[in-house]
Amino acid sequence: MQSYLAGRDMITTQEFTTDELNTIFEVAFDLKRKRALGESHALLRDKVLAMLFFFSSTRTRVSFEAGMAQLGGHAQFIDHRTTQISHGDTGKEIGEIIGRYCDGIAIRQCDWGIGNDYIRGVAKASRVPVLNMQCDYYHPFQGLADMLTVFERFGRDLRGKTINVSYAYASSYQKPMSAPQSLILLATRYGMNVRLTRPPEFKIMPDIEDQARDNARESGGSFEVLDDFDAGFSGADIVYPKSWGAMLTTTDEEESAEIGAQYTDWITDSRRMALANDHAIYMHCLPADRNIEVTDEVIDGPHSAVYDEAENRLHVQKAVMALTMR
């Protein structure tokens, strides 16, 4: 274990060594056990986390607020629309000033081509850790929660296990690609056989694919890209089909939605789940477009791990906060 992560930003897991990631997971398991047993773990007493949201949230807001309370601290909810952030406060000013008021700054800013740069600008100016609650490129805490769930189901040695991270059709809105990108970056760190399955118009960032290939080479795993929805499910141990927008094809949301409408058959149903291994689990970061992205039969069925996955957001976030904000 790495014993000193104090002051570190969590913007992408790629900026952490595998040993450091393992420390986060060990602490997450310990804090999850303590919560199950009702043991106090007020490791951040009197600490304050500022949570700045540019996008609405359910799981992210609730889990970070609950996590800070359970760690003995306090979380402030800050909506950019009801503060001077919408009238001129710059990222540098946010980092300089809120970094002096609080002990950590968490930010959710998913605007394409803007979010990651904004978070890094705040981090550069801040004297306290900056935590990425989701940007246009990365969703590190979702990825950590996903991997914690996979460890719980399959053990810590994941070599030889196959995960299929796939596009799925959704009609609600053009969702960020940050969740699948963070997941393939983490899964390839742990020797898994990682599949990215997507239509040609729904590519992810080439740099992310390059990083995933490098990770796979170092860990002894593999990384491949498929464009056949059914083939992605075949023989998989974990399936993770979710929607994202065609940002690398068009930045126009209406055009992206029109392209996506060609793939309404990319839905996870019982026939697709039968293509995976008998013990396979279905994962999704939620919310899912029910009976469009996935059928009720699957998301509420015996293969589904979505609620354990959602719970694990709490535990990995508490682990990172406890390690970095002390």
Question: What pLDDT band is residue 279 in, cutting at 50, 70 and 90?
Answer: very high
Strand partners, 75: 49
Q: Is residue 8 domain-resident? A: no
- Is beta strand 48-53 parallel, antiparallel or unpaired with respect to 162-167? unpaired
pLDDT computed for residue 81 by the predictor: 86
Whether 155 and 299 map to the same domain: the answer is yes
pLDDT tens digits, residue range 120-161? 999 999 999 999 999 999 999 999 999 999 999 999 999 999
Q: Is residue 207 domain-resident? A: yes
CATH number at residue 171: 3.40.50.1370
Q: How far apart are CA 239 and CA 264, in angstroms?
A: 18
The pTM assigned to this predicted structure is 0.97
Which amino acid does the sequence have at 209?
A: E
Q: Is residue 44 domain-resident? A: yes
Whether 183 and 41 map to the same domain: the answer is no
Cis peptide before 287 (omega within 30 of 0): yes
Whether 124 and 159 map to the same domain: the answer is no
pLDDT tens digits, residue range 54-71? 998 999 999 999 999 999
Please state the domain count of the chain.
Answer: 2
Q: State mean pLDDT over 207-232.
A: 98
Q: State mean pLDDT over 239-263.
A: 96
DSSP code of residue 20: H
Q: Is residue 6 domain-resident? A: no
Whether 69 and 108 map to the same domain: the answer is yes
Q: State mean pLDDT over 241-247.
A: 97
pLDDT computed for residue 85 by the predictor: 86
pLDDT at 2 over 90: no
111 burial level (CB within 10 Å; 0-12, 13-18, 19+): middle
pLDDT at 190 over 90: yes
Whether 53 and 178 map to the same domain: the answer is no
Q: State mean pLDDT over 254-274.
A: 97
Whether 216 and 70 map to the same domain: the answer is no
Whether 104 and 164 map to the same domain: the answer is no
